[in-house]
Structure 1
C-alpha cells in the first residue's frame, strides 16, 4: 500500500526520509555522545540566528559573547510582530512551513519553521506514535478536533484528513444527539486510534458510561487513545481507560515547537530531547534543579527560519529527579502561567486548583458533563456548567465549602446552567479564565 502520508510530506517539500535518518542517529547516541550533540546544537542554533536573524540580534543587543545562561528569555509578546521582521536571512514566506499558535494563552502569533525542522517534527511524531504500534501511513485515526467553518478552510482540512487517514469529529457541538452520531461511526469504521482534545474525548467517554458501553467492544480495531492540548486529570484518565478499554496516552506539545512530552510505554512523560532542549526556570530566570517547580522554557534545536531560543511557553512544570540530559522526564505539568487566580487575601492560586476542587465534588453523580470557571472580580467567580438537571443548593454549598477549605473563605460564586459551553475557535475548552 502506498505511504500516502509520507508522500504528501515529500510533495510539500518536507524531506521526511532525511529527517527520519537523522532522528534515528540522535536516538542511538550514547549518553556521552548525546551531551556533546546537545552542546553543539545549542551553540550552532544561537550562532546561526546571531548571524542571520535581525530580530534575534536586536534581542541580544548584538552581543555575541553571552553564555547560555545569559541569553534573553523569549516570550510570546516579543514574537507579536510581523513575521517578515522575524524571519532569518535567506527565508521567505513561500519556502517555510507557516502556522499560527492557538492563542490559548491569550497571545496568538504567526510562526515559521524551515522545511527540514518541520520534517523532523513529523519524524519525531512518527517515532513516538510507533511506540504504540500506530503508523501514520496505514493506521486510521478518529480525530476529535475543531475545524475551520469557512467553506474553503473546511474543504482543505477534510482533504488533509483524507491524505492523513483521519476521520474528523468536530468538537463544537457535543450534545448527546451528536455524540450518538459519533458512536454510530465507531460501529461502521475500523479506527486504529483516537487523537484529539482531552475535554471532548472525556465528554464522549461520559456518554459511553451513561449508556453502559465499552468502545473497544463496539470498535475492536482500536489500539490506543492520545489526548492533547488540555489537562488530563487522573480521574478522567481512569474513566477513559474504563470506557474505551484501550491505553490512554498523554501528550503535551506546542504548534510552534514540536511534541514536547509524550507518555512512553512505561507511563513516563518523556521529553522530546531529540529536537528540543527544555529548562525549568525560576522568576529570576535561574535554572532550577530537577524536582523543583518553575517556568517551562524551551529551545528548538533545529528551526533556522524563526528563532525559538530559551522561549518561555507560558506553562509551569517540574522535571523529575530521575531525569538525565538525554532522557528528561516531565514529572508534572502544573498549568499555564496566565491562568492564575488572585484572591482577596493577596494569595495567588493556579486557576486549575479551583477547577480541580470543584471537579472532585461536581462529578460524583455524573450529572454535570462539563464546566468552566471565570473570575470576574477579586472575590467573585462564575461557574458555567452543562448538566441533565440543575445543581441544587446542597451541591452548591458543598462546592463553596470545599473552595473555602482549599483556597480561602468568603469568596462569592454564581452558577449558570448552559446548553453548551463556549470553546475557542479551535474547539478547545478553557477551564479557567480570569478577567482581572
Structure 2
C-alpha cells in the first residue's frame, strides 16, 4: 500500500478510499442486511426465555448446516444422534486445529465468500472465509448496537485502525490521516503515535469535529493524555460516543478517554474469526448477545465456571463454522439472576478479561492480570507508557517511555509495585526506550506473554 501512496497525490488517494468504501458498503448493506437489522432490533428486548428459544433454534440450524456442508464436520454424523443434536457432542476447537484443518472446515471457496485475516499478534495469522450473508448479518448487529448512540453511516467519524495508509510525503507534511469524503470517515494512522506527532492529530481532530470515534483505544488514549499534559481543551459536546475495538479496556483507560473527550465509550467484543457479540448497554453493563451465538465459560478441565476460558459457537460463521471454538480470551460472568435496568434481558458479563496471554505469570504468586498490571503505574511520575515482556518464568523485561519528570525515585516506586505483584524472586529489568513499537496490525499490546506453553492449562 505504501508503494502506491508514496506517488499518489493526497486528493487522489482520498478518492480511491471513497471508491473502495463505496464498493465495500454496497456489498455490506445489500442482500439480507436490512432484514437482519429489523429482526435483530425487534428481538433485542425479548424476555430471557424468548432469547434462549431464538438461540436454540439458530443453534440447531447452524449445526445441521455445518454437518451437511463441512468435510471436517461431516465426520461427526457417524458419531452423534442426528435427530437430537447436542452441542457437547462436538469437541472443543482450538486455533491450531482450526488452522491445520481449515481447508476441510470451510464450506465454500474463497472466491465465493469474504476472506478475513486475524492480526497474528499472538502467533501465526489465521485466515477464515465468511459467506456474504454472514458478513451482512454481522454488520447489521454491529450497526444496531452503534445506532443506539446515534451512529449512522455518513455521520462524521474518526477511525483509528491498523490500516497502513500514510506515505513519506504525508509525514513530511505532518498529515497522519486520509479521508473518505463520501461517507465522512477520516482514517487516522495508528503507527505514528509519538510525542512529536500527537499535536497534529489533536489539532486535526479539533478542526474536523467528528461525532464518533471508532478504533484502537490505546491510540485514542495517547491523544487524550497528550491533550491533558499540555492543557489543550477538546471542544465539549462534539463527540457523541466512542466505540473501541480490538483491545482490552482498563478502568484507567476508560476514565482518561471519557473525561478528556467529554463523552462515553461503549465497548463491544467480537473477533476477526467471527466470534459472537458482547455489547455494552447505556447502563454500562456488558451483555452476551444470544442471537449471535452460544457462549461457554470453562475452566482448564473444561467444566463450567463463572470466570474462565471463553468457548464460542458463532451463528454468523457458515463459511468457516466455529463450533465450540476456544477463542483464546477470558471473561467473568455476572450472577445469572441479575437483571439490567436497560431492558436488555441477555445474560450479563461482569468483565472481559482479555486474551489468555494478557497476564504475567509469577511462579511465586501465579497469574497477574491486566488490571493489576496497569495499576503498577500508581504513585509514579514520568512514565508515559510501558510494555511488559515475559520470555522466561523467572524474569520480565519492562520497556518504558519516559519524560522529564522521571526520576530514580519514580523508577523505584514502579519496581516496588511490580514486586508487590510478582514477588521477590523474579528478575525485573526496566529499560527506557524512545518508542515502544506497536504490532504489525497497529495494535498496542501492554503485555507480551511468550511462555504460555510452560504453564499448565495453556499448552
Shorter chain as denominator, the TM-score bin is 0.7 to 0.9
- Counterpart-to-counterpart distance in 2, 1:159 and 1:40: 44
Q: Give 1:180 shift.
A: 1.0
Note if 1:146 corresponds to 2:162: yes
Listed as ranges, the matches of 1:243-322 within 5 Å are 243-257=260-274, 260-288=277-305, 292-321=306-335, 322=337
- Counterpart-to-counterpart distance in 1, 2:259 and 2:160: 19
- 1:189 is matched with 208
Q: Give 1:25 shift.
A: 4.1
SS at match of 1:106: coil
Instruction: Decide which of 440, 443, 447 is 1:428's aligned counterpart.
Output: 443
Shift of the 406–34 alpha-carbon distance from structure 1 to 2, 3 Å rule, reads: same
- Counterpart-to-counterpart distance in 2, 1:170 and 1:295: 33
2:165 and 2:178 in contact (8 A); partners too: no
SS at match of 1:246: coil
Shift of the 7–169 alpha-carbon distance from structure 1 to 2, 3 Å rule, reads: closer
2:67 and 2:77 in contact (8 A); partners too: no
- Counterpart-to-counterpart distance in 2, 1:61 and 1:411: 51
2:313 and 2:324 in contact (8 A); partners too: yes
- Counterpart-to-counterpart distance in 2, 1:159 and 1:129: 23
- 2:370 is matched with 352
How many correspondences in the alignment?
415
- Counterpart-to-counterpart distance in 2, 1:357 and 1:28: 37
1:335 and 1:350 in contact (8 A); partners too: no
Q: Give 1:140 shift.
A: 1.3
Q: Give 1:163 shift.
A: 5.5
Instruction: Decide which of 393, 400, 406 is 1:385's aligned counterpart.
Output: 400
Q: Give 1:397 shift.
A: 2.1
Q: Which runs of 5+ in 1 are unaligned?
A: none
- 1:216 is matched with 235
Shift of the 319–221 alpha-carbon distance from structure 1 to 2, 3 Å rule, reads: same
- Counterpart-to-counterpart distance in 2, 1:172 and 1:262: 28
Q: Give 1:83 shift.
A: 4.2
2:388 and 2:398 in contact (8 A); partners too: yes
1:216 and 1:246 in contact (8 A); partners too: no
1:388-435 CA deviation, whole Å, 9 max, x = no partner? 138433222222322222331132222211121111111111111133
- 2:136 is matched with 119
- 1:406 is matched with 421
SS at match of 1:376: strand
- Comparing 175-184 with 29-38, greater Cα deviation is found at 29-38
- Counterpart-to-counterpart distance in 2, 1:402 and 1:349: 15
Q: Using structure 2 for the length normalisation, give the TM-score.
A: 0.82
Q: Give 1:245 shift.
A: 1.0
Q: Which runs of 5+ in 2 are unaligned?
A: 1-19, 171-176, 452-459
Aligned-residue CA RMSD in angstroms?
2.8
Instruction: Decide which of 371, 375, 378 is 2:390's aligned counterpart.
Output: 375
Shift of the 384–55 alpha-carbon distance from structure 1 to 2, 3 Å rule, reads: same
- Counterpart-to-counterpart distance in 2, 1:8 and 1:149: 17
Instruction: Decide which of 89, 105, 114 is 2:122's aligned counterpart.
Output: 105
2:287 and 2:347 in contact (8 A); partners too: yes
